[in-house]
């Protein structure tokens, strides 16, 4: 059966099997992640639930005579995988006009611009998304002149939502030249002769309209979300947390659910701007017409979120102390710079207290150690008014928590939403920036788990459909391999003492992901009474050689008892 026909069959199955399809899966190696036996042989699905989990004899005896039997022939089954942090709509729109190649060098950026320029009207901006200097072999951004070489008559910019490089034609239209004063909220980088290099940091008033010019219709965003969910199913993802939407994003998800076309259970995070006066921030939160947990097993409201600082890939993460002298990779040198703080402490405290009072779970984008400390301080202030234990307030990203931060998080019951992809892909460039002492606390999973902090695994998937070549790669088994080996993209091992076990890695993408959304009693493990979300994989996760973990692929993904992805090797 060809791929297109297989996809049609799966789509048809989703329609007729809207409430799950009864089946016995037996003769396998089932990693349950549950409270009972850690491994077993078989399970029974009735409707959209597991109703019996156990040995072959136990499960086959419990099944009705006409229930279909599916022989796993020794294959391994894991619970449905939960990516705690994705941006599927934006990731899909990044390739709405065609595939964006992986660009690991300035030469590859130029090749992409040249190809797009050859087929794009001269009046249209060439926009190259998510170009990070930490991921280019030159360890720097391209210059305006390097873009000029391949842009033809087009205005061109590379971008990562903070740092952009504009070619000469675009700089000229915007009136940026050697005499342009520095903006108060950013930097126009100039060379030794005083000429703009094309690199502009921050300056949202200048760059924001250029980014906003790439608008997409509701229908395009809907189609992209549907396609991306299908891509997630192919790698075993059955649940995810969309980590940043406003009203329009919520409507997209609601519309897709009403059409019966959701194939990934989704908790949608509600974004709130943290600026302004604290009392105005409180009123904005009070005006939101729902709260964490509203919804059902397919679509629910997740936490309230703000953005405290910048990012470690762009040199704006808010640190405990200045970056120092090794920041050339970011395009600037400023030994006293600590990063960007988007939300003042009093606003974070007001937000945490308001969220706690109204019943919201809260989280925030926090990448630097200084930002983590401020967020945990705000959570502690909220806890003084009313206990937040059990509320699962969250640190999103949390790349550099030190020992004190980990201890405070454990005491307050704060959980972490972490992305090992940043450690893997960016460790080679960031190690010299942060130095050995700070790098010891770069994604310290072992220390967090040992302290009793619940950590969920996510990708922060932002661009591309390809599961291993995306920014960031969203293939769960690839990410699990990163946490198990601590290997970086240059094959070095960074922080070997922070390695975790295979079982712990799988927990990050199953039970712990469910815990972050208060759903550990209904999903995250293969147990009787839980939702029938599971993945049959092509090799044994627990025993294959370590280097093969990253190559594991699903052969069947099932959500709510329905097959949403299938290679055909199981039959049935």
Both 207 and 245 in one domain: the answer is: no
What residues pair up with 188 in beta bridges, in sequence order?
200
For the segment 133-156, the average pLDDT, to the nearest whole number, is 96
Is residue 541 classed exposed, middle or buried when 0-12, 13-18 and 19+ CB atoms within 10 A define those classes?
A: buried
**Tokens describing residue 550:** 């990253």
SS3 134: helix
The answer to whether 113 and 147 have CB atoms below 8 angstroms apart is yes
Look up the CATH number of the domain holding residue 182.
3.10.310.70
In the chain, % of residues over pLDDT 70 = 96
pLDDT score of 71 more than 80: yes
Average pLDDT over residues 350-375: 98
pLDDT tens for residues 367-407?
999 999 999 999 999 999 999 999 999 999 999 999 999 99
Domain contains 370: yes
Domain for residue 327, yes or no?
yes
Q: What is the per-residue pLDDT for 482?
A: 98
**How far is the C-alpha of 440 from the C-alpha of 489, rounded, in Å?**
18
Q: What angle do CA 567, 506, 501 make, to 5 degrees?
A: 130
Structural domain total, the chain: 3
Q: What's the N-to-C CA distance of the chain in angstroms? A: 14
CATH number of the domain that residue 74 is part of: 2.30.40.10
Residues 258 and 313 placed together within one structural domain of the fold: yes
Q: At residue 3, does pLDDT exceed 60?
A: no
**431 lies in some domain:** yes
Nearest alpha carbon to residue 434 among 322, 308, 310, 309: 322
Domain that includes residue 544, residue range: 3-80+527-566
289 in any annotated domain: yes
Question: What is the Cα–Cα distance from 289 to 61, expressed in whole angstroms?
Answer: 49
> Quick one: 288 and 353 in the same domain?
yes
Q: List C-alpha distances in Å: 505 to 479, 484, 499.
A: 9, 7, 10
Q: Is residue 92 one of the residues assigned to a domain?
A: no
CB 532 within 8 A of CB 523: no
**85 in any annotated domain:** no
Residues 115 and 234 in one domain: no
| Same domain, residue pair 239 and 184 | no
Residues 65, 155 within the same domain: no
DSSP per-residue codes, 293-323: T-B-SSEEEEEEEEE-B--TTTT----SS--
Question: What is the structure's pLDDT at 571?
Answer: 82
- Following DSSP, what letter does each residue of 498-544 receive, concatenated? G---HHHHHHHTTHHHHHHTT-TTTSSS--TTSB--EEEESS-TTTS
**Alpha-carbon distance 57 to 42, whole Å?**
9
- Reduce the DSSP state of residue 69 to 3 states and report it: strand
CATH number of residue 296's parent domain: 3.20.20.140
Cα angle: 82, vertex 87, 93; to 5 degrees: 135
**Residues 202, 227: one domain?**
no
pLDDT attached to residue 36:
87
User: Of 433, 432, 423, 426, which is closest to residue 399 (Cα–Cα)?
Assistant: 423
Higher pLDDT, 7 or 128: 128
Q: What is the pLDDT of residues 239-282, one digit of tens each?
A: 999 999 999 999 999 999 999 999 999 999 999 999 999 999 99
Show the DSSP H helices in 298-419 as ranges.
345-358, 369-385, 403-412
On whether both 475 and 387 belong to a single domain, the answer is yes
Residues 173, 56: one domain?
Answer: no
> Residue 88 domain-assigned?
no
Neighbours of 165 (CB within 10 A): 28
In a domain, 427, yes or no: yes
| pLDDT tens-digit map of 507-545 | 999 999 999 999 999 999 999 999 999 999 999 999 999
107: buried, middle or exposed (CB in 10 Å: 19+, 13-18, 0-12)? middle
109 and 162 inside one domain: yes
8-state DSSP, 142: P
Could you say which of 212, 233, 251 is where a domain stops? 212
CA distance 18 to 47: 9
* Mean pLDDT confidence for 130-155: 96
Query: For 196-245, how does the pLDDT look when each residue is reduced to its tens digit (9 = 90+)?
Result: 999 999 888 989 899 887 789 999 999 999 999 999 999 999 999 999 99
Structure tokens at 55: 């040995």
Considering the chain, what is the average pLDDT of its residues?
94
Domain boundary among the residues 212, 233, 248 is at: 212
What is the C-alpha to C-alpha distance for residues 563 and 561, in angstroms, rounded to an integer? 7
Q: Are strands 362-366 and 23-26 parallel, antiparallel or unpaired?
A: unpaired
pLDDT-based confidence at residue 426 (cuts at 50, 70, 90): very high
| Residues 356, 252 share a domain | yes
Specify whether 237 is located in the same domain as 142.
no
Q: What is the mean pLDDT of residues 75-103?
A: 93
Question: Among residues 212, 238, 259, which one ends one of the domains?
Answer: 212
């Amino acid at each position: 059966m060809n791929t297109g026909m297989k996809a049609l069959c799966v789509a048809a199955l989703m329609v007729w099997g809207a409430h799950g399809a009864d089946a016995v899966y037996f003769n396998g190696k089932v990693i349950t992640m549950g409270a009972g036996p850690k491994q077993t042989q078989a399970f029974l699905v009735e409707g959209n639930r597991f109703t019996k989990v156990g040995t072959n004899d136990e499960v086959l005896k419990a099944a009705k005579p006409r229930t279909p039997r599916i022989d796993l022939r020794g294959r391994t089954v894991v619970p449905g995988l939960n990516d705690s942090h994705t941006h599927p709509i934006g990731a899909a729109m990044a390739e709405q006009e065609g595939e964006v190649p992986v660009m690991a060098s300035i030469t590859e950026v130029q090749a992409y611009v040249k190809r797009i320029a050859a087929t794009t009207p001269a009046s249209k901006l060439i926009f190259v998304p998510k170009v990070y200097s930490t991921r280019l072999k030159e360890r720097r951004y391209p210059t305006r002149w390097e873009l000029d070489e391949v842009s033809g008559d087009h205005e061109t910019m590379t971008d990562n939502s903070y740092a952009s490089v504009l070619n000469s034609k675009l700089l000229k239209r915007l009136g940026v030249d050697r005499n342009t004063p520095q903006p108060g909220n950013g930097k126009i980088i100039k060379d030794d002769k005083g000429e703009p290099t094309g690199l502009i940091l921050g300056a949202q008033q200048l760059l924001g309209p250029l980014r906003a010019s790439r608008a997409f219709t509701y229908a395009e965003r809907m189609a992209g979300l549907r396609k991306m969910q299908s891509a997630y199913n192919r790698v075993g993802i059955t649940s995810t947390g969309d980590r940043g939407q406003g009203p329009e994003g919520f409507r997209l998800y609601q519309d897709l659910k009403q059409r019966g076309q959701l194939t990934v259970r989704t908790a949608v995070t509600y974004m709130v701007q943290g600026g302004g006066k604290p009392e105005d921030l409180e009123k904005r939160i009070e005006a939101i017409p729902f709260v964490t947990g509203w919804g059902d097993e397919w679509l629910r409201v997740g936490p309230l979120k703000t953005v405290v600082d910048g990012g470690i890939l762009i040199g704006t993460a808010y640190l405990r102390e200045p970056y120092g002298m090794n920041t050339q990779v970011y395009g600037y040198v400023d030994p006293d710079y600590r990063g960007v703080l988007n939300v003042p402490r009093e606003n974070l405290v007001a937000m945490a207290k308001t969220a706690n009072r109204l019943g919201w779970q809260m989280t925030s984008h926090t990448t630097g150690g200084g930002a983590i400390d401020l967020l945990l301080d705000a959570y502690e202030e909220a806890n003084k008014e009313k206990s937040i234990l059990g509320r699962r307030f969250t640190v999103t990203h949390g790349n550099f928590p030190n020992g004190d931060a980990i201890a405070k998080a454990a005491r307050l019951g704060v959980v972490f939403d972490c992305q090992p992809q940043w450690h893997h892909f960016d460790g080679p460039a960031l190690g010299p920036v942060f130095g050995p002492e700070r790098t010891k606390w770069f994604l310290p999973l072992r220390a967090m788990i040992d302290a009793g902090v619940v950590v969920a695994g996510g990708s922060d998937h932002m661009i591309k459909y390809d599961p291993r070549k995306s920014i960031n790669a969203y293939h769960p088994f690839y990410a699990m391999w990163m946490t198990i080996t601590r290997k970086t993209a240059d094959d070095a091992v960074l922080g070997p003492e922070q390695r975790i076990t295979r079982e712990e890695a799988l927990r990050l993408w199953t039970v712990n992901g469910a815990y972050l959304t208060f759903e550990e009693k209904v999903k995250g493990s293969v147990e009787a009474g839980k939702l029938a979300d599971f993945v049959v994989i092509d090799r044994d996760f627990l025993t294959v050689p370590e280097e093969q973990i990253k190559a594991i692929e699903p052969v069947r993904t099932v959500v709510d008892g329905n097959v949403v992805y299938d290679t055909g090797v199981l039959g049935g």
